[in-house]
Amino acid sequence: MTEAFRTELDADGVLSIVWDMPGRSMNVLTEAAIRELADIVERVASEPGIKGAVISSGKESSFSGGADLTMLEGLSRLYATEMAKSGEAAAAKALFEGSRRLSQLYRRIETCGKPWVAAINGVCLGGAFELALACHRRIVSNDSSTRVGLPEVKVGLFPGAGGTQRVARMLPPSDALQMLMKGEQIRPDKARAMGLVDEVAPKDEILSRAKAWILAGGKAVKPWDEKGFKLPGGPVWSKAGFMTFPAANAIYRRETQDNYPAIRAMLQAVFDGLQLPMDLALTVESRLFTKVLRSKEAAAMIRTLFVSMQELNKGARRPAGVPKSELRTLGVVGAGFMGAGIAYVAAQAGLDVVLIDRDEEAAAKGRAFAEKLISGQVMKGRATGAERDALLSRVRPTADYGALKDCGLVIEAVVEDPNVKAEVIGKVEAVLRDDAIFASNTSTLPISGLAKASKRPENFVGIHFFSPVEKMLLVEVIQGRQTGDKAIATALDFVRLIRKTPILVQDSRGFYANRCVIAYLLEGHLMLAEGVPAAMIENAAKQAGMPVGPLALNDEVALDLGLKIIDATRAQAGDAAVNPAQEKLLRAMVESNGRLGRKNGKGFYDYPEHGKKRLWPGLKDLQPAQLDPETVPIFELRHRLLVTQALEAARTVEEGVVTDMREADVGAILGFGFAPYTGGPLSYIDGMGPRRFVQLAYALAEAYGPRFRPNRLLLDLAETGETFYGRFAGEKPAAAA
């Protein structure tokens, strides 16, 4: 058996425990690692010669990312086995006992009678930070890579190994709940100010300080295990408690629309746990954690936002047998908003960037945009002045295409005009070296059509960034009809280098993400044309789990762009491909009222210079009729907004645009915010069951039109009883929970 931990007892009686899993770039909590750590804990507790223990990491830039969530698949199998063998009660008990082993192990650490210190360098997240919280002291390095946090809510869970109970006893409840609900990674100084860690020290001192604390008589008892311990924020049933928990529940409802059972359970765990002794509180936490484990939301989010995303980030879709590209210099043609953003993220990743535009002044503006972004990071304490200067030194603005001769990859980010792009392709290929790759950052134009202007279509690929580039995590890599494996591999390597998640899609107009987004926007437009109050449309979208309503989203991408897409669609596919109600609404907004969206401060919303955006009152005048909101079924609006996107996702699978179910779900959540609690549009369909989804789609089609008619693939899945993941990813149906 491969050991995850190395131990060494020094002459002073301090046991050094070094977590260093061989063959992994980062330590994770696996079943084997947990068993090994349990044996070490018992050794510390039982050997008289051991005065205390220091746990650290043998990895250069990380402590641990936490638990390997694929362990939960084992718990699901355990539940299914026990259910079949002994019934639901026995299965629930087995799941409860299995899921609380880590919690019990951490409780053993803090009550073993010997002091434990966590010496942390790099990221320490999730179950690993819960381990640190169970230790009697936490010393973290001041290295720029160091972060601590409990991000479980982002994958449909909550900290179930004692995290909710320890944090709520270390911080005032309002601060604890905010930290737990956000799931953010916290920098060392902030963690120290919050009281989550005890010391911040240089990296090369954390081990010596940890040992010194133990030898100076470090206390092996936690405050909550001492008589007379008082909660930082006072009792739950107090004036302060009444000011905290009702407000926290209201914030939860507002922010999540009650779509996330893990966050609801976490609130309950804190509320109930703070009224109990620690051991009982941990039992309550474990029972609630077990309940969340059985939810379809947790299963879907873990699969998409952890397992699938991790696999895609590690190159699951990279062509086999292609050597890794060694990119050093990137070319970006077009120094506007998108091009400057691409240059910024590339320079941030350590690449030298040649930034081209029509003249030196325009190119310099792109570099100035990058300077503005990095300066903002410096102002927030997230980067240093030296890091800013180093980044800017890597961006070279110029109008000389000859400067691209040493680039391994060139990305064009000019206007969405095939003629302009063709001209750029010619200029770039005239100087580009033979083995270099050319990529087009286009949001709608088919790559195969653009590649006709290239002399080397096998080296031509699409790389579609989302706006704003520096914030959006998704990048679509588009394979044209003649795109070769080397071009795909280079694009995927580049996306990984800039720390974004790639999905590989086949060529089509709008590709994948924009097709689903366009369907979402269309539904919002048609609801407005029907007379549904604008505020009701936006609120229904948020209740359905979307981050913003379709009208607000349209303002962000620009209303005049929507009109251009309508015109381009008509030119390519004829009048029948354009919805007249949508066109009438957008022409009234753009051409009659000059409302272009956020970019000119006037769209479906008004954007005052000082103050929050608000829906434009004039929208009522554009509605042929206005429906009484009391007569509009809100649940139907929610269904329409999700089903229309899921249907479009299903069509892309049938058409072969998306060939990997993981990419459809990950891409939808990262690219346009499809309700994360569902796990993505295909998981949404699978979770409901294709048969039931088809029935819902037919009902909507009868009420609102043929755009809701299910495609042939969906009908086939409904008839056979299969799911998307069952047919295309080989997954067996999960046991009912």
* Phi–psi pair at 303, nearest 5 degrees: -60, -50
* Closest CA relative to residue 458, chosen from 436, 427, 428: 436
Same domain, 346 and 458: yes
pLDDT band at 733 (very low <50, low <70, confident <90, very high): low
Sorted by sequence, the CB contacts under 8 Å of residue 628 that are 6+ apart come out as: none
* Closest CA relative to residue 713, chosen from 667, 637, 633, 658: 658
Same domain, 374 and 488: yes
Q: Name the β-bridge partners of 422.
A: none
For residue 31, the one-letter residue type is E
Residue pair 619/554 in contact by the 8 Å Cβ criterion: no
Percent of the chain scoring above 90 in pLDDT: 83
* pLDDT at site 1: 47
Residue pair 723/686 in contact by the 8 Å Cβ criterion: yes
C-alpha–C-alpha distance, residues 661 and 653, integer Å:
8
pLDDT band at 305 (very low <50, low <70, confident <90, very high): very high
Same domain, 47 and 185: yes
* pLDDT at site 60: 87
Sorted by sequence, the CB contacts under 8 Å of residue 18 that are 6+ apart come out as: 5, 6, 7, 8, 56, 57, 58
Same domain, 488 and 587: no
Q: Does 120 have pLDDT greater than 70?
A: yes
Q: Does any domain span residue 545?
A: yes
Same domain, 576 and 561: yes
What is the CB neighbour count within 10 angstroms for residue 89? 10
Cis amide prior to 172 (ω within 30 degrees)? no
* pLDDT at site 734: 47
Same domain, 434 and 506: yes
Residue pair 126/156 in contact by the 8 Å Cβ criterion: no
Same domain, 609 and 647: yes
Percent of the chain scoring above 70 in pLDDT: 99
Per-residue HEC secondary structure of 201-240 comes to: ECHHHHHHHHHHHHHCCCCCCCHHHCCCCCCCCCCCCCHH
Q: How many domains does the chain have?
A: 3
C-alpha–C-alpha distance, residues 464 and 612, integer Å:
31
C-alpha–C-alpha distance, residues 494 and 502, integer Å:
9
Q: How far is CA 79 from CA 19, 31, 98, 194, 220, in A?
A: 30, 17, 10, 39, 37
Same domain, 499 and 529: no
C-alpha–C-alpha distance, residues 576 and 83, integer Å:
53
pLDDT band at 194 (very low <50, low <70, confident <90, very high): very high
Which of 242, 268, 294 marks a domain boundary?
294
* pLDDT at site 79: 80
Q: What is the span of the domain harbouring residue 451?
A: 329-510
Q: Name the β-bridge partners of 14.
A: 52
* pLDDT at site 2: 61
Q: Does any domain span residue 382?
A: yes
C-alpha–C-alpha distance, residues 303 and 155, integer Å:
9
Same domain, 158 and 272: yes
CATH number of the domain residue 351 falls in:
3.40.50.720
Same domain, 462 and 572: no
Report how far apart the first and last C-alpha atoms of the chain are (Å, whole number): 34
Q: Does any domain span residue 374?
A: yes
C-alpha–C-alpha distance, residues 311 and 320, integer Å:
15
C-alpha–C-alpha distance, residues 445 and 267, integer Å:
47
Mean pLDDT value across residues 699-710: 97
Residue pair 31/72 in contact by the 8 Å Cβ criterion: no
C-alpha–C-alpha distance, residues 634 and 640, integer Å:
10
* pLDDT at site 736: 35
C-alpha–C-alpha distance, residues 258 and 262, integer Å:
10
pLDDT band at 735 (very low <50, low <70, confident <90, very high): very low
Give the pair of three-digit tokens for residue 317: 């879709």
Q: Per residue in 620-666, pLDDT tens?
A: 999 999 999 999 999 999 999 999 999 999 999 999 999 999 999 99
* Closest CA relative to residue 615, chosen from 675, 713, 493, 532: 532
CATH number of the domain residue 115 falls in:
3.90.226.10
Which of 459, 487, 510 marks a domain boundary?
510
Q: Does any domain span residue 393?
A: yes
Give the pair of three-digit tokens for residue 427: 């200029």
CATH number of the domain residue 671 falls in:
1.10.1040.50
Let me know if 363 is exposed, middle or buried by CB neighbors in 10 A (0-12, 13-18, 19+).
Answer: buried
Same domain, 560 and 688: yes
Buried b (16+ CB within 10 A) or exposed e, 548-559: ebbbbbbbebbb
Mean pLDDT value across residues 377-404: 93
Q: Does 220 have pLDDT greater than 90?
A: yes
Q: Does any domain span residue 307?
A: no
Three-class SS state of 118: strand
Of 90-99, 288-297, 590-599, 618-627, the one with minimum mean pLDDT is 90-99
Q: Does any domain span residue 499?
A: yes
Q: Per residue in 458-469, pLDDT tens?
A: 999 999 999 899
- Active-site amino acid positions: 464
Which of 510, 534, 549 marks a domain boundary?
510
Give, for 672, the enclosing helix (H) or strand (E). Answer: helix 661-672
Average pLDDT of the chain is 93
Strand order in the sheet with 14-19: 5-9, 14-19, 52-57, 116-120, 137-141, 199-201
Same domain, 461 and 608: no
Handedness of CA 231, 234, 236, 240 (dihedral sign): negative
Q: Does any domain span residue 87?
A: yes
* pLDDT at site 412: 96
Q: Does any domain span residue 719?
A: yes
Q: Does 565 have pLDDT greater than 90?
A: no
